Amino acid sequence: MPRVNTPKLPKFIQTKIYKTGQTRGADNDVIFQNRVGRNSRVLIPYSNYEQSIEALDAEFEKGFTVLIPPELYFENIIEFTNSLREQGLVIGENALLFYETRQQWEAHNPIDNGLSAAQTRETPLGGEFVSRVASTTSENRNRENHGYTTSGMKGAGIRVYEYASKNTIDLTRIQLEYLFWSCYDSIEECVNYGMSREDALLRKAYNRTLADEDGLTEIQRLVNNRMINNAEYTVCPLCLEQLSSKGFFEKVAQAEGRSVHDLTVTQINLFHIKEIRFGEYNHKEYNLSWGHHHCNVVVKDSGIEQTLEWMRGVVSRNDVLE
């Protein structure tokens, strides 16, 4: 089915699906880039380097930078540099000294040691170190943020566990749209938000064709992964309640007296079935679904199974009190 002349989704849904291919937000005082593509250059803590490389089936599309604690480097510069080379790492090319604490900055001041702050995300990196050292009000010391601080070059890269290749991002967006259409009232809600019924049915059919062609509609696998139920309707991965597509458009309810006028959080958000974490790359097809905002907050980075075990304990202890 050709893409040309295919009806577009309501803009809000299209944007929501598109943003799933971007990383989480980051402010100026951290080393990470703010909401960029998940196939961007990744930052790998030195302690997680081998684990992160071994877990990936292919190369990072835009490269990687390993972040090295300065105390390791300055303890024995020659020996440590040789050790890095054996691992395929060179400071200033695919590795940087990363200063995070005031103690590191004072013990091994990079400027006093003739080092330069890195300025580019491509090899060579234009320097040997990057720093994000917080200010200390009690001692009247300013923060030491060096490297990747200009408006056109903010952030050295993304969190390594948020990485996904462009192909994977494309596949997950197709599957996430499929899951949107699998909500029991998706056609009606799209009509409510500007699509004609005919266009909504055409777009749903087009997406289903793409999803089928890419192997993204294995029903039993979707059921087993808590993404749909046996009736093939999309469910929240934690509570397993059928999702209404209204939740994609409507904001979460706010507590009386604590409401804000610019709230952008919707009732339904992206939900990782298996949490993202070091040593795994879980932003991928059959691991991304839609779920309630509040269920997502409960799960956080713990994962569904661990959260359910905690919830069973809470319920069990309360049953004893009754």
With bands split at pLDDT 50, 70 and 90, how would you rate the model's confidence at 222? very high
Does 17 fall in a domain?
Answer: no
Same domain, 218 and 108: no
Does 240 fall in a domain?
Answer: yes
Could you tell me the two tokens for 35?
């909401």
- Give me Rg for the CA atoms of the chain: 23
Within 10 angstroms of residue 168's Cβ, the number of other Cβ atoms is: 18
Which of 160, 128, 164, 155 has its CA nearest to residue 42? 160
Mean pLDDT of 27-41: 95
Mean pLDDT of 124-132: 98
Question: For the purposes of burial, counting CB atoms within 10 Å of the CB of 26, is it exposed (0-12), middle (13-18) or buried (19 or more)?
Answer: middle
Domain end: 131, 146, 162, which one?
162
Does 214 fall in a domain?
Answer: yes
Q: Is the Cβ–Cβ distance between 172 and 24 less than 8 Å?
A: no
**What pLDDT is attached to residue 264?**
61
**What pLDDT is attached to residue 252?**
56
Mean pLDDT of 153-159: 96
Mean pLDDT of 155-170: 97
Q: How far apart are CA 97 and CA 115, in angstroms?
A: 10
Same domain, 234 and 310: yes
Mean pLDDT of 204-222: 98
Which of 243, 286, 288 has its CA nearest to residue 267? 243
Q: How far apart are CA 69 and CA 50, in angstroms?
A: 16
CB contact burial 225-252 (16+ within 10 A = b; e otherwise)? bbbbeeeebbbbbbeeeebbbbbbbeeb
Beta pairing partners, 136: 141
281 has pLDDT over 80: yes
Does 53 fall in a domain?
Answer: yes
Q: How far apart are CA 56 and CA 63, in angstroms?
A: 12
Same domain, 177 and 151: no
Q: How far apart are CA 40 and CA 32, in angstroms?
A: 11
262 has pLDDT over 60: no
Domain end: 136, 162, 188, which one?
162
Does 4 fall in a domain?
Answer: no
With bands split at pLDDT 50, 70 and 90, how would you rate the model's confidence at 3? low
128 has pLDDT over 50: yes
Same domain, 117 and 180: no
Q: Which domain holds residue 103?
A: 25-162
258 has pLDDT over 70: no
Q: How far apart are CA 55 and CA 279, in angstroms?
A: 6
With bands split at pLDDT 50, 70 and 90, how would you rate the model's confidence at 322? low
Same domain, 93 and 208: no
Does 56 fall in a domain?
Answer: yes
Domain end: 117, 144, 162, which one?
162
Q: Is the Cβ–Cβ distance between 65 and 89 less than 8 Å?
A: no
Does 20 fall in a domain?
Answer: no
DSSP 196: -
Same domain, 136 and 193: no
Same domain, 191 and 302: yes
With bands split at pLDDT 50, 70 and 90, how would you rate the model's confidence at 4? low
Backbone angles phi and psi of 176, in degrees to 5: -70, -35
Asked which of 5-14, 74-83, 133-142, 154-163 is least confident by mean pLDDT, the reply is 133-142
Same domain, 151 and 257: no
Task: Scan for tokens 């960029």, then name that residue.
Answer: 36
Tell me how many domains the chain contains: 2
Same domain, 135 and 203: no
157 has pLDDT over 60: yes
42 has pLDDT over 50: yes
CA distance to 27, 62, 181, 226, 317, per residue, from 151 (Å): 12, 20, 39, 42, 52
What percent of the chain has a predicted confidence (pLDDT) above 70?
93
With bands split at pLDDT 50, 70 and 90, how would you rate the model's confidence at 302? confident
CA distance to 99, 236, 294, per residue, from 138 (Å): 20, 47, 38
Same domain, 177 and 305: yes
**What pLDDT is attached to residue 251?**
79
Same domain, 146 and 272: no
Does 1 fall in a domain?
Answer: no
Same domain, 274 and 308: yes
